[in-house]
Every structure is written in C-alpha cells, then in structure tokens.
Amino acid sequence: MFKPYIYITLFHLLTVSVVIAEENDALVEKECTRIGSKLGSVNIQDCLDINLTATEGRSVKNAPILLKEYPPLQRRSPLGKVLLIGGIHGDEYSSVSIVFKWMRTLNQYHSGLFHWHILPLLNPDGLLRKKSQRMNENDVDLNRNFPMHDWENTALKHWIDITGRNERRYPGEKELSEPESSWLVDHINEYNPDVIVAVHAPHGIVDYDGPRNAPYKLGRLHLNLLGTYPGSLGNYAGIQRKIPVVTIELPYAGIMPTNKEINDIWRDMVRWLSENITEEAYIESQHNNQVAAPS
C-alpha cells in the first residue's frame, strides 16, 4: 500500500541534511576567509582543504568555533583521545598557525594512532578583530575563566591581589561566564579526552598539569613548570579533573618556528602521547624502559 508520509519523511530528512551541510560549508568558508586574510602563515585555500566543521560553539560575536576530527580508523584501535587547542589567546598568532600546519600533516598521514579533536582557534573574536587581543570580545581572559571553587576568593582575588587588576588577565565576573570557555567545557564533557594539548606563545617552554610524566622536551622547548593560575585550563582540566594538560608555549607570538622545529615538536609530542596518553600506555612504557635499560 502506498504510504506517502514515509516518502515525505525521507524527503524531509534528506533536505534537512543537505541544508545543514550547506550551512556548515558557508560558515566554514566565511571563517577560513577571515582566518586566511588575518594570518600570514595560513592561506584561505589551505584552510578550506582541511575540511573543518562548524561546531555549535559560538563566540560572543557569534563566530563558530571550528573543529577537525581525525577519527579512529578501522585497521587499528587508537591509543587514546587527544584534544588539541590553538588560539585561546587571540594575539598569539603562531599558536593558531602551527595547529593549521599540524592539521595539514594529519590530513595526509593520519594513521589512526590517536583519535583527534582539533580546535585551531578557540577565541575567534580576539584574533579576528582589527587589532587582535589576548582576551575575547568581552575583555575576559578565557584561560582564567574555567571553573574554580569560590570564584570571588580564588580567581577574582588572584586577579586583584597578584596581577594588580591586569586587564589582560581578567577572569570574568564568574566562572564560565563566556560562551567560548563554557562551550569548551561542554565539549570536554562530551568528548572525554585522555589528554589535552593547548598551544600558546611566547614563553618558549613546555608546561604541564596533571597525572603521569610531564614531557621534558618537545623540539627545542624544555619543560618549565610555570605554576597554575586559578581559572586556567591547566588548573581546571589538569589538576581538578586529572586530565593531563600539555601547554606548548612557542617562543614568539608573531613569528612561526622553522619547519624543522614545527616537525620536531610534533614528533616529540606524538612520542610522549604514545607513552603517556592513558594509564595503560604509561605502565607499558615504564615496563619497556626498564627492559631496555642496561643492567
């Protein structure tokens, strides 16, 4: 018997998915054009070729937060899930550009070793304004806006007493007051990463919060524990939630490392991830190192 409603439903479903795909493409094209026009090291076509997705995350000015997923492949189960984030601070150009370089590498060579979620630019408003700024559009430092118990006496007090109300470090009126940080926490809850890697500049070091072994060297960047600040991602995810957070601080905000250094940081990061991404990987690497050590 002819059931017209079935055909209508299917037709609607197809139409809806086509419209969603078209909307996504339009949003990504717009953002790639803006990012490619702003950053000397990212061109518009390279950005488009990566095939990013516009998430439901939105900035204060309604720019979509872009995501690229490199999913598990059929031939091997991944060692774990990595969340890689660039551009938390809008004036740290190199932190966005290097993530684009690494996405180009993964577009070519993703082997299924890890399951990746990559957010090249968490703070689009900070980067894509006429004069880029560290903070988001509400002048909040997103890397001080993450959950913290007793906000007034921790994050706010630290900002007033220790930074002397430095406007570049303003943590916001309350935790997760900002759409970008709030969406990121939702995303962490949903994706449940084993490790988070956040890229910043310009301290030229590696910082680390969380359980297991810190990476002592990535490329030419050496481990230097800067201490954790109330409301920072390292404090929230690394200390409070025990998700290892690797913070890569590139040496310059406006100058990219050499191609060799970009590749060296990547290689060392992949090696560290392989040995530390999960408790099991960590135990196994400890065992292997012991076996390999001369007696």
Task: Please report, as ranges, the residues that interact with Zn ion according to CB under 5 A.
Answer: 89, 92, 200
- Beta carbon of residue 247, minimum distance to Zn ion (angstroms, whole number): 8
Residue whose CB is less far from Zn ion, 141 or 268: 141
Mind giving me the DSSP string for 114-150? SEEEEES-S-HHHHSSSS--SS-TTS--GGG-S--SS
Own/partner long-range contacts of 162-167 (Cβ < 8 Å, ≥24 apart) = 167/135, 167/139
Work out whether strand 115-119 and strand 205-209 pair parallel, antiparallel, or are unpaired: unpaired
Work out how close the CB of 143 gets to Zn ion at its nearest, in angstroms, rounded to a whole number.
6
Q: Using alpha carbons, select from 254, 253, 275, 256 the residue that is nearest to residue 265.
A: 256
Nearer to Zn ion, 75 or 131 (CB): 131
User: Does residue 97 contact residue 256 with C-beta atoms inside 8 Å?
Assistant: yes
* CA pair distance 32, 54, nearest whole angstrom: 11
Nearer to Zn ion, 144 or 200 (CB): 200
Q: Which tokens go with 57?
A: 């995350």
Q: Least distance to Zn ion from the beta carbon of 169, Å? A: 11
Q: Please identify, using beta-carbon distances, which residue of 176 and 201 lies nearer to Zn ion.
A: 201
In the bound state with Zn ion, the residue whose beta carbon lies nearer, of 114 and 159, is 159
Residue whose Cβ sits closest to Zn ion? 200
Instruction: Report the nearest approach of Zn ion to the CB of residue 92 (Å).
Output: 5
- Rounded to an integer, what distance in angstroms lies between the CA atom of residue 225 and that of residue 162? 18
Give the residue among 199, 209, 207 at the shortest CA–CA distance from 253.
199
> Cβ of residue 89: shortest distance to Zn ion, in angstroms?
4
| Cβ distance to Zn ion smaller for residue 80 or 171 | 171
Q: For the purposes of burial, counting CB atoms within 10 Å of the CB of 187, is it exposed (0-12), middle (13-18) or buried (19 or more)?
A: buried
**DSSP element (H, E) containing 248:** strand 245-249
d(C-alpha 144, C-alpha 157), whole Å: 12
Q: Are 37 and 44 in contact (CB under 8 A)?
A: yes
- Nearer Cβ to Zn ion (72/202): 202
First-to-last alpha carbon distance for the chain, in angstroms, is: 80
Measured CA to CA, the distance from residue 51 to residue 30 in angstroms comes to 13
Please, what is the minimum distance in Å from the beta carbon of residue 100 to Zn ion?
17
The residue (of 141 and 194) whose beta carbon lies closer to Zn ion is 141
Least distance from Zn ion to the Cβ atom of residue 77, Å: 34
| CB of residue 227 to Zn ion, shortest distance in Å | 15
